Amino acid sequence: MPQDMRPLIMHIVYRFDLGGLENGVVNLINHLPVGKFRHLVVALTEVSDFRLRIRRADVEFIALNKAPGQGFWLYPRLYRLFKQWQPAIVHSRNLAALEAQLPAWAAGVPVRIHGEHGREGADLSGSRRYQWLRRGYGLFVHRFVALSGELARYLQLRVGIASAKIEQVCNGVDTQVFQPAKQRQLIAACPFDAPEHLLVGTVGRLQTVKNQVDLARAFVLALRQRPELALRLRLVLVGDGDLLPELRKILSDAGVEALAWLPGQRSDIAELLRGLDLFVLPSLGEGIANTILEAMACGLAVVATDVGGNPELVQHGVNGLLVPAADPQALADAIVKLADDADLRRAMGQAGRQMAEQRFSLEGMVARYQCLYSSLLQTLAPTALN
């Protein structure tokens, strides 16, 4: 068999499972020209059935089953992987995978890229420890990719990465898959199918940084402020995770569990979004939220917290409303405002769709990454392009 001369990109992630970061990897691999690059996905922990979303048959996956904590013990194994596979590019994503850059450097990987998709957990306010970790491991990185302007500024001003080493590449959305319905669609298995129902919902992992508990609290507050909304306002919380018991308790304690639907994890996200009237993202921190982009592409008005890259997607009063983070009352007020104004929801949804098509296309994102990969290979490893 002739040797495959396409440059190999090794994508390093903490876990390859349902999520915005991982969805970005899927979109990139599926849409980069097949003749230009090969791909290998390495998860430091596990690879789930989410891998089936990659449509190319030539992509391989490796799960390293890393235990929680610092991964020094993985360095020899990563070093051997890099030596075995000889990638032209290593592209790690987020802080949990950044440590792979050290063994990549030691193994002589010619192009080393790290993507910052957003800060989570203890890093929401910009942990000094994590800033030092990024700065230290950044010595082995040729280029940082920031998904938002806020992350780019953070890397330069707080972490101390030179601006010449930072590239901003925003996520893109497939506007063919995610597109508006002429009228709200029925969601499979959803109990709320009456024409008068107004479905407010969100999609994502049920975890602290996504802060779905504030959406549940806001839903309760909205119904207390306007009891008559109980006839039509319904809550849809799609996803699975540690917050599920707390969410159920909030709704049960308020006596409104019958007005909410928590179906767990779903894969039919485009169909789900086309069944909503309003999308809400109550996060405590974000990079560039794929779910906001997908909701915009589906023609939904968006209520989002004013954090991270959200203001780069949601123009307040144009395609949605921005509210302070960790403020359920402000979230409730925004929901009530849009619940009362169908014309405003419709106008915001149309503006969001237009923005998704013009500024956040999947084709544009893929072109930026292809240019980045090719230019770094041309500069640092020209023989890999031959």
Q: What is the pLDDT of residues 95-153, one digit of tens each?
A: 999 999 999 999 999 999 999 998 776 777 778 999 999 999 999 999 999 999 999 99
What does DSSP assign to residue 94?
Answer: S
Residue 323: strand pairing partners = 305
Q: What are phi and psi of 206, to 5 degrees?
A: -85, 85
- For residue 126, give every residue at least 6 positions away whose Cβ sits within 8 Å of its Cβ, in sequence order, or none: 119, 154, 158
CB 331 within 8 A of CB 218: yes
8 in helix, strand or coil? strand
> Which residue would you say has higher pLDDT here, 384 or 333?
333
* Nearest-angstrom CA–CA distance, 384 and 86: 11
What pLDDT, on the 0 to 100 scale, is given for residue 33?
A: 96
CA atoms within 13 A on the CB side of 269: 26
How would you class 157 by CB atoms within 10 Å of its CB: exposed for 0-12, middle for 13-18, buried for 19 or more?
exposed
CB 8 within 8 A of CB 85: yes
Q: Considering the chain, what percentage of its residues have pLDDT values greater than 70?
A: 98
Residue 32 has pLDDT above 80, yes or no: yes
* Nearest-angstrom CA–CA distance, 274 and 296: 11
CB 33 within 8 A of CB 65: no
Q: What are phi and psi of 281, to 5 degrees?
A: -125, 105
107 in helix, strand or coil? coil
Q: What are the tokens at 224?
A: 């207390």
* Nearest-angstrom CA–CA distance, 246 and 5: 52
Tally of helices (H runs) and strands (E runs) in the chain: 14, 13
Full set of structural domains in the chain with CATH: 8-172+361-385 (3.40.50.2000), 198-359 (3.40.50.2000)
What does DSSP assign to residue 114?
Answer: E
List the single range of 60-74, 209-223, 330-344 with lowest mean pLDDT. 60-74
User: Containing H/E element for 130?
Assistant: helix 128-138
* Nearest-angstrom CA–CA distance, 202 and 291: 8
Q: Report, as an integer, the average pLDDT of 199-209.
A: 95
What pLDDT, on the 0 to 100 scale, is given for residue 103?
A: 97
What pLDDT, on the 0 to 100 scale, is given for residue 20?
A: 87
What pLDDT, on the 0 to 100 scale, is given for residue 361?
A: 94
Band of pLDDT at residue 315, cut at 50, 70 and 90: very high
What pLDDT, on the 0 to 100 scale, is given for residue 321?
A: 98
pLDDT tens for 39-95 read 999 999 999 999 999 999 999 999 999 988 767 789 999 999 999 999 999 999 999
Q: What are the tokens at 198?
A: 């107004």
Band of pLDDT at residue 2, cut at 50, 70 and 90: low
User: Containing H/E element for 320?
Assistant: strand 320-323
Band of pLDDT at residue 386, cut at 50, 70 and 90: low
pLDDT tens for 167-179 read 999 999 999 999 9
CB 335 within 8 A of CB 220: no
Alpha-carbon distance values, 42 to 45, 46, 100, 150, 301 (Å): 9, 9, 10, 28, 36
* Nearest-angstrom CA–CA distance, 280 and 270: 15
What does DSSP assign to residue 186?
Answer: P
* Nearest-angstrom CA–CA distance, 25 and 13: 9
What pLDDT, on the 0 to 100 scale, is given for residue 199?
A: 98
This prediction has a pTM of 0.91
What pLDDT, on the 0 to 100 scale, is given for residue 382?
A: 84
Q: Report, as an integer, the average pLDDT of 316-325.
A: 98
What does DSSP assign to residue 7?
Answer: P
Q: Report, as an integer, the average pLDDT of 197-210.
A: 96
